[in-house]
Amino acid sequence: MSAEPLAAKWHPTDEPPSVRRKAARKKGVLATYGWRLYAVPLLLAVTAVAVFQTVNDDNKGEAATGDEVATGSQQDSGDVYAAGPEITEKPAKPNDPNIPTAELPPGPNFLQTGNGKFTVLPGTTDRVGTAGRLYTYTIEVEEGIDLAPYGGIDSFGRLVDSTLADPRGWVGTGQVSVQRVDGNANPDIRFTLGTPDTLHRADYCGYSIKYESSCWRRSEKRVMINLARWVRGALAFGGDIGSYREYAINHEIGHAFGKGHVGCTEEGGLAPVMMQQSFGTANNYVAQLNDQAGNDDPVQADGKTCRFNQWPNPQAQPPT
């Protein structure tokens, strides 16, 4: 039976007697109880809201416990060997943070567990950039990862190289230069694509909350890119996987360059590349994650929301 759209009756007297009797009874109830029929549900709703607010206020004190979320409290702390957090992007123990934009988007399958061993991909580049300190890097992939569906095993290295050489990237700021070296060198940075379970290890990124993330592990000199995010991206990027991958590269190597986390600075503007956009581009979301960990990241829950952005120098402005 197909449903018909509701429509008003132009001739109420055409209703059957039983329908008219029901309507008369409804009028009698209204006449007897009047405003009480509306006041009681309203009072119940107000009471429910008050209880919910009280519970939330009580939970705020508890939510600040746990491990560090995404550490790196200063926007600019120097270079790769400067004093700073051992791990970035390490999430906190949750107290039901309920942050939907941090969820991994739906998408293709990916390898959850590898063997924890990394292979250096062959390839070198010339120096890119003429100013600032020169950082050398290798490209490494965890054994067992099949990148054939995503352009082949070399696609990861090519995108890292092109992203780091882009004038909208860090070299365009005039603060650093980069150069890819082979596996026989002792690089400053090891750009590594790894499976989620490997990154979850305590000696790499850790994993004390359900949201997938990448990190910079200073003691290993590894920028560790999470395969789950590489394949699926982040909800804040609206399905633009290419832009998200460029963001992941620039954000994590930004930590290697001594950059800390920042929040959205202008409502509706481009998010700073050092904002934790894997979790969202709204300050309220990011601040809640940091509050859970007791971090002192300079992200305030001020209601500002930015648009995603993968570049530290998005307009390719020449350095001053």
Per-residue pLDDT of 192-206, as tens digits, reads 999 999 999 999 998
Q: Does residue 15 belong to any structural domain of this protein?
A: no
What lies within 8 Å, CB to CB, of 265 at 6+ separation is 272, 304, 306
Q: Does residue 77 belong to any structural domain of this protein?
A: no
Residue 279, domain CATH: 3.40.390
Per-residue pLDDT of 66-103, as tens digits, reads 222 233 333 444 454 444 456 655 544 433 445 689 99
pLDDT band at 254 (very low <50, low <70, confident <90, very high): very high
179: helix, coil or strand?
strand
Q: Does residue 72 belong to any structural domain of this protein?
A: no
Q: Does residue 36 belong to any structural domain of this protein?
A: no
What is the dihedral sign for C-alpha 252, 254, 260, 263? Answer: negative
Residue 141 pLDDT:
97
Overall residue count recorded for the chain in this entry: 320
Q: Does residue 76 belong to any structural domain of this protein?
A: no
Q: Does residue 89 belong to any structural domain of this protein?
A: no
Beta carbons of 245 and 215 less than 8 angstroms apart: no
Q: Does residue 314 belong to any structural domain of this protein?
A: no
Beta carbons of 313 and 257 less than 8 angstroms apart: no
| φ/ψ (deg, to 5) at 73 | -80, -15
**Residues 155-191 as b or e (16 or more Cβ within 10 Å = b):** ebbebbbebbbbebbbbbbbbbbbbbbeeeeebbbbb
Per-residue pLDDT of 95-127, as tens digits, reads 344 568 999 999 999 999 999 999 999 999 999
Residue 19 pLDDT:
41
SS3 content of the chain, % helix, strand, coil (to 5): 35, 10, 55
Is this model's pTM higher than 0.75 or not? no
222: helix, coil or strand?
strand
Q: Does residue 317 belong to any structural domain of this protein?
A: no
For residue 190, what are the domain limits?
100-293
Structural domain count of the chain: 1
Beta carbons of 65 and 99 less than 8 angstroms apart: no
